[in-house]
Structure 1
Amino acid sequence: MNYEMGSSADGDRSSSGDSSNHVLDIYPLSCYYFGSKDPLLLKEETLADRILRMKSNYSRYGSRTCVVAVILVELFKHPHLLLLQVKNSFFKLPGGRLRPGESEINGLKRKLSRKLSVNEDGDGSDWEVGECLGMWWRPDFETLLYPYLPPNVKNPKECTKLFLVKLPPSRKFIVPKNLKLLAIPLCQLHENDKTYGPIIAGIPQLLSKFSFNIIDS
Structure 2
Amino acid sequence: MTDDAVVLVNAAAEDDVAAEHVVDIFPLSGYYFGSSLNPLFLKDHSLSRFRANYEARGLRTCVQAVILVELFKHPHILLLQVKNSSFKLPGGRLGIGEQDIEGLRRKLSRKLSLDDGDNEAEWEVRECLGMWWKPDFETLFYPYLPPNIKSPKECAKLFLVKLPVSHKFIVPKNMKLLAVPLCQLHGNDKARYDFLYSFIAPTI
Alignment TM-score, normalising by the size of structure 2: 0.86
Equivalent residue for 2:121?
Answer: 125
Aligned residues: 186
Determine whether 1:116 maps to 2:112: yes
Considering Cα pairs closer than 8 Å and 6+ residues apart, tell me whether 1 or 2 has the greater RCO: 1
Determine whether 1:203 maps to 2:192: no
Root-mean-square deviation over aligned CA pairs: 1.5
Alignment TM-score, normalising by the size of structure 1: 0.81
| Structure 2, unaligned runs of 5 or more | 1-15
Question: 184-193 vs 100-109, which deviates more?
Answer: 184-193
1:1-217 mapped onto 2 (5 Å cutoff): 19-21=17-19, 22-37=21-36, 38-43=38-43, 45=44, 50-122=46-118, 124-194=120-190, 195-207=192-204
CA distance in 2 between partners of 1:60 and 1:29 (Å) = 42
Contact persistence 1:70–1:162 (CA under 8 A): yes
Question: 171-180 vs 198-207, which deviates more?
Answer: 198-207
Residue 19 of structure 1 and its aligned partner are, at CA, apart by 4.6
Amino acid at match of 1:201: S
Identity %: 67
Please give the per-residue CA displacement for 1:138-159, whole angstroms capped at 9, x wherever unaligned: 1111151121112221110000
Residue 117 of structure 1 and its aligned partner are, at CA, apart by 0.5
Amino acid at match of 2:28: L
Equivalent residue for 1:213?
Answer: none
More helix by share: 2
CA distance in 2 between partners of 1:141 and 1:161 (Å) = 17
Please give the per-residue CA displacement for 1:21-67, whole angstroms capped at 9, x wherever unaligned: 43210000000011111110113x4x6xx222122211121101100
| Structure 1, unaligned runs of 5 or more | 1-17, 208-217
- Alpha carbons of 1:143 and 1:116: their partners in 2 closer, same or farther (altered >3 Å)? farther
Contact persistence 1:130–1:163 (CA under 8 A): yes
CA distance in 1 between partners of 2:122 and 2:149 (Å) = 38
SS in 1 for 2:108: helix
SS in 2 for 1:27: coil
Who wins on radius of gyration, i.e. which is larger? 2
Contact persistence 1:191–1:198 (CA under 8 A): no
Amino acid at match of 2:155: C
Please give the per-residue CA displacement for 1:49-101, whole angstroms capped at 9, x wherever unaligned: x2221222111211011000000000000000000111111111000000001
